[in-house]
Amino acid sequence: MDEVAATLALRHTRGLGPRTARRLLVAYGTAAKAAAAWQEWPARGLTSAAVAQAFGARSWQQGAEAEARAAERLQAHILPWSHPGYPRLLRQIPDPPMLLYGRGRLELLAGPCVAVVGARQSSRYGLEMATTLARDLARAGVCVVSGLAVGIDRAAHEGALSEVGGSCAVLGTGIDLIYPAAHQDVWCRLAESGVVVTEFPPGTRPEGRNFPFRNRIISGLSLGVVVVEAALKSGSLVTASLAAAQGREVFAVPGPATVPTFHGSHQLLRDGAILVQNGADVLQALAGVLRHYAPTAPAPPKPLPPDPAPIPEVRPPEPVFPDEDSSCVWRLLDLREPRHVDAITQTLGWDAGRVSAALLLLEMAGLVRQHPGMYYTATSA
């Protein structure tokens, strides 16, 4: 039994949910090895005897084979839990999906991801904040994750898609369905230059019970969840709660006190969420973990032996930069004399979030050094 077939067999076994499946996958390393050893599951305390017997009796066969045929017709990417391309952070949650269906650039999920979520019935201010936040995060190389819903989700996808980090939509349907149908344009852009994923089998309709399961994937993929605009008792607060339980950072954007669709956001802030006003706030809060994803800047070429006569000190050759913004900022910095971030912003005519995102990327790559008071110098490596 190959890995995908074994994963589908586990998925369709009665009484075997994501938490039990994770125990099996951690214990054996792959679904195929777990399936081959089904008789020993109860003795190892991994499942009940009833679950092992259900697997041995092949209770899964009809459902697993039907899903396998549907997946083959669809020709979508399939990532079982043990696949090297399965997102590392998602693998670590207590109830990871046994497999993911995907379309688009699945490699984006190997980099840093941050979720941006919020209300369907959103304000103009919320939509503008979602677009700007997502753009700033993606410009800094972060993949923006959301749920393809109306309102804040769509704004987040649109803000991020044209930037280097891209965007990921997590669906509450099968990979072959677009919901809502009016978002076909964004879905197609995501499938081409971003990424679309779901744990649900092909043909799964958009039923309400699916979306809490989808939300745990949104938070599970992400280093943190930014709630842009949310009412009390909203799905976005569920995602934020899941993020906190998974050990992720929770961020919230403040809004007008009299607008009900921000009351949930304000509740998160009262409960300890990090207040954010732009993408730079999120990047700064996550700087410690983002450094683990930083591209390694190549060492500059070895200099030629110096001439016998003294020569003036020159700036070393320019390294390879993470993106064009980083290149522009680095060229404004001196190797010795620190320059304030406000001076850089004024010289370039950019907004502060864009400059801060570029500086953070440069700092993660070891190309700038930050000094007290938001002053920066360039480094040569």
Asked if residue 233 is part of any domain, the answer here is yes
* CA 98/CA 200 separation, integer angstroms: 10
* CA 260/CA 258 separation, integer angstroms: 6
Asked if residue 81 is part of any domain, the answer here is no
- Model pLDDT for residues 63-84, shown as the tens digit of each residue: 999 999 998 888 789 999 999 9
Residue positions counted in the chain:
381
Asked if residue 68 is part of any domain, the answer here is yes
**Quick check: 206 pLDDT over 80?**
yes
Asked if residue 14 is part of any domain, the answer here is yes
- Examine the domain organization and report whether 122 and 252 are in the same domain: yes
User: What pLDDT sits at residue 380?
Assistant: 67
- Examine the domain organization and report whether 57 and 188 are in the same domain: no
User: What pLDDT sits at residue 310?
Assistant: 47
Mean per-residue pLDDT of the chain: 90
Helix (H) or strand (E) holding 330, with range, is helix 324-331
Domain end call among 264, 291, 318: 291
- Examine the domain organization and report whether 132 and 252 are in the same domain: yes
Higher pLDDT, 92 or 297: 92
User: What pLDDT sits at residue 317?
Assistant: 60
User: What pLDDT sits at residue 356?
Assistant: 80
Asked if residue 88 is part of any domain, the answer here is no
Domain end call among 235, 270, 291: 291
Domain end call among 291, 311, 335: 291
- Examine the domain organization and report whether 274 and 137 are in the same domain: yes
DSSP label at 259?
-
- Model pLDDT for residues 97-122, shown as the tens digit of each residue: 999 999 999 999 999 999 999 999 99
- Examine the domain organization and report whether 153 and 23 are in the same domain: no
- Model pLDDT for residues 237-281, shown as the tens digit of each residue: 999 999 999 999 999 999 999 999 999 999 999 999 999 999 999
- Examine the domain organization and report whether 259 and 243 are in the same domain: yes
User: What pLDDT sits at residue 341?
Assistant: 84
**Quick check: 312 pLDDT over 80?**
no
Asked if residue 90 is part of any domain, the answer here is no
- Examine the domain organization and report whether 142 and 226 are in the same domain: yes
Q: Note the Cα 8 to chain centre separation in Å.
A: 25
**Quick check: 316 pLDDT over 90?**
no
- Examine the domain organization and report whether 261 and 355 are in the same domain: no
The mean per-residue pLDDT over the stretch 208-224 comes to: 96
CB within 8 Å of 256: residues ≥ 6 apart: 125, 262
Phi, psi of 379 (to 5 degrees): -120, 170
Asked if residue 63 is part of any domain, the answer here is yes
Banded model confidence at residue 320, pLDDT cuts 50, 70, 90: confident
How many domains would you assign to the chain? 3
The CATH number for 359's domain is 1.10.10.10
User: What pLDDT sits at residue 161?
Assistant: 96
Banded model confidence at residue 292, pLDDT cuts 50, 70, 90: confident
The mean per-residue pLDDT over the stretch 183-203 comes to: 96
- Examine the domain organization and report whether 112 and 204 are in the same domain: yes
Please state whether 111 falls in left (phi above 0), alpha (psi between -120 and 50) or beta: beta
Looking at 1-15, 136-150, 324-338, which range is the least confident one? Answer: 324-338
- Examine the domain organization and report whether 119 and 13 are in the same domain: no
Quick one: tokens of 297? 């800047």
The CATH number for 131's domain is 3.40.50.450
- Examine the domain organization and report whether 31 and 9 are in the same domain: yes
Cα→Cα distances 174→89, 141, 219, 271, 375, Å: 22, 28, 19, 35, 49
- Examine the domain organization and report whether 148 and 219 are in the same domain: yes
**Quick check: 305 pLDDT over 60?**
no
What is the extent of the structural domain holding 352? 297-381
User: What pLDDT sits at residue 80?
Assistant: 96
DSSP label at 317?
P
Asked if residue 87 is part of any domain, the answer here is no
Cβ-based neighbour number of residue 212 at 10 Å: 13
Residue 315: strand, helix, or coil:
coil
